[in-house]
Each structure stands twice: as structure tokens, then as C-alpha cells.
Amino acid sequence: MNIKKLINQVVIFIVAIVCSFNPAFAQDSSKVSVDLGTDMVSRYVWRGTQFGGRSPNIQPFAEMGIGNFVFGTWGAYTMGGTNRSQELDFYAGYSFLDDKVSMTVTDYYFPGETSDYQYFDYGKNTTGHVFEATASFNGTDKIPFSALIATNFYGADATRISDDPANLNNADGIQYSTYMEIGFASSCKSVDLDAFLGINLTAPRQEDLAGTGFVGESGFYGDNMGVVNLGFALSKEIEVSGKFNLPVMVSVITNPQTQKMFMVFGFSL
């Protein structure tokens, strides 16, 4: 796959979609939306894995919606400690069936905090980008369950189990790490509850396909198939003044494979 050609095709497609809207549509504020803000969390835990060490994390975002399309960027930056990390993602999505079903493509990237990096390196075996395709059912008022399945289809998807510095990325092609999550949403008075169960569906490769002598590769979510993300989140809005409410969240997350457990507090601005 020529990733540069693919990116060019995606850009052309997006431009064509945007340009196809007539001026009357572009001025219809009900079909165009822009949003931005940031979350502040005590720890950055994503799909059962902690990123950025044991430090608070700031996570800004910006998003534009055009009809059923959405385009956005999201970041994560460690605020202290010695194990600092950062993340910069871009995504594009499309929703249908009254937003009940969504399809999304995400470009994950983790710029090096202490070393030089080349953001525009999209080489098959050298890039730091990870491209993911996601399909999700978002639930309804009558069906409070959601489901998501996500597959990495290009980039730095796998790591040598032996952790050889010369083979940190997947030298034999994509691992296609796949993650599935089932969620349940409910509320009691002013508190919202979201429970979730996330499963790593990818088994590690054990054979030495590249002939390097380093056997096996670990997928994006761990070394074995099974549950990697289990827990719940409680959220509510706290009234700060008559004109401002502060959304706050507390989540309890465990990863049975790594035998880790986290409690995370956060708020949104």
C-alpha cells in the first residue's frame, strides 16, 4: 500500500465533499458545527493501558462537523514526572441511521519527548503512525448498549516481544491488532453511568518471519487475547455559578491481563 497515495486520495475526497455543499448549505448553522475544549485527567488510561506515567494529563481537542461527517484532532500531554509523553491524533468519521452507527478512521501518533522524530515519515517499517478503522453502534434511549470494533490497518502496530531496539516496529507487516468493546449506559438522578468491557482479539505471532532471530511480536493491546479493559465511569455536572457548570468524571478501570487497576478523576473545560 502506498500510504502517501492513500492520504492524497483521502484529502481529495474530503475536499470534494466540502466543495459539493452549496452556499445555502454552508450557511445553515444546523448542519455545520465547531467545537473545542480540553479534558484534565489525573492519569491517562486508554483501553486498559496507562500512558504517560503517573502524572496528570491535559487532553485538548478541536472538531468540526459537516452534516453527517466529522473531522477532528485530539492530543494528550503529560504535565509532570520523568516519564513524559505526548500524543497527537487526527480523525475523520461518518455517522448514519440518526447517529446510531459511526465509521471512523484515526491516525495515532506519539511524538518523542526527548528524541527527534519525523512526523511525515509514513514508511511501512519506519513510521511512528498507527492508522485505525473503527465501526461502532452508539446505542439509543431504548437500547442502552453500545458496541465498538477497531482494527489497526497500517503503521507501527506491533512490537517485538524480545524488545530488540533494532526491531521496535513490526518488520514483517501489519499485525492488525483488533479491539472490541461493549458498553452499557444508564443514569440515576444527575449522575451518568457508563460500564465497559474491552477485549483484545489479536493473538501474538510466535514465529520469526523476518529471520532476525527475535521470535514473536506483541500486538497493540498486549501479548495475549482476552479482556484488557474492564470498568465503569461516573459523571455529572457540578454547578459552579448560575451560568457555568463543570463536568466531572470518576472512573475505575482494571486490566485483567496485566493485573493493573486504576482510579481516574477528570473534568472538562
Contact between 75 and 91 under an 8 Å Cβ cutoff? The reply is: no
The answer to whether domain 3-20+31-268 has CATH 1.10.1040.10 is no
Distance between alpha carbon 248 and the CA centroid of its chain, in Å?
20
pTM of the shown model: 0.82
Number of H helices, E strands in the chain: 2, 16
What is the structure's pLDDT at 138? 95
Contact between 158 and 125 under an 8 Å Cβ cutoff? The reply is: no
Give the model confidence (pLDDT) of 70-108 as tens digits.
Answer: 999 999 999 876 666 789 999 999 999 999 999 999 999
What is the structure's pLDDT at 167? 47
DSSP tag of 205: B
Which amino acid is present at 262?
F
Q: Which residue has the cell 486490566?
A: 255
For residue 230, the cross-strand partners are 197, 254
Question: What is the C-alpha separation between 168 and 156, in angstroms, rounded?
Answer: 8
Contact between 77 and 40 under an 8 Å Cβ cutoff? The reply is: no
For residue 44, the cross-strand partners are 51
What is the structure's pLDDT at 63? 97
Is residue 170's pLDDT more than 50?
no
Q: Which helix (H) or strand (E) holds 153?
A: strand 145-155
Is residue 8's pLDDT more than 90?
no
Distance between alpha carbon 258 and the CA centroid of its chain, in Å?
20
What is the structure's pLDDT at 17? 47
Is residue 171's pLDDT more than 90?
no
Give me the sign of the Cα torsion angle 96, 99, 103, 107.
positive
For residue 149, the cross-strand partners are 135, 180
Task: Supply the mean pLDDT for the chain.
Answer: 83
Give the model confidence (pLDDT) of 113-132 as tens digits.
Answer: 666 788 999 988 788 899 99
Is residue 264's pLDDT more than 70?
yes
| Average pLDDT of span 26-40 | 80
Contact between 252 and 263 under an 8 Å Cβ cutoff? The reply is: yes
Least confidently predicted of 35-49, 142-156, 206-220? 206-220
Closest by CA to 61, choosing from 81, 91, 31, is 91
| Average pLDDT of span 240-257 | 93
Which amino acid is present at 59?
Q
What is the structure's pLDDT at 85? 76
Is residue 5's pLDDT more than 60?
no
Least confidently predicted of 2-11, 42-51, 130-139? 2-11
Is residue 199's pLDDT more than 60?
yes
Three-state DSSP state, 227: strand
Q: What are the extents of the domains in the chain? A: 3-20+31-268
What is the structure's pLDDT at 153? 92
What is the structure's pLDDT at 205? 67
Q: Residue 58 corresponds to which cell in the numbers above?
A: 491535559
Give the model confidence (pLDDT) of 132-168 as tens digits.
Answer: 999 999 999 899 999 999 999 998 887 766 545 454 4
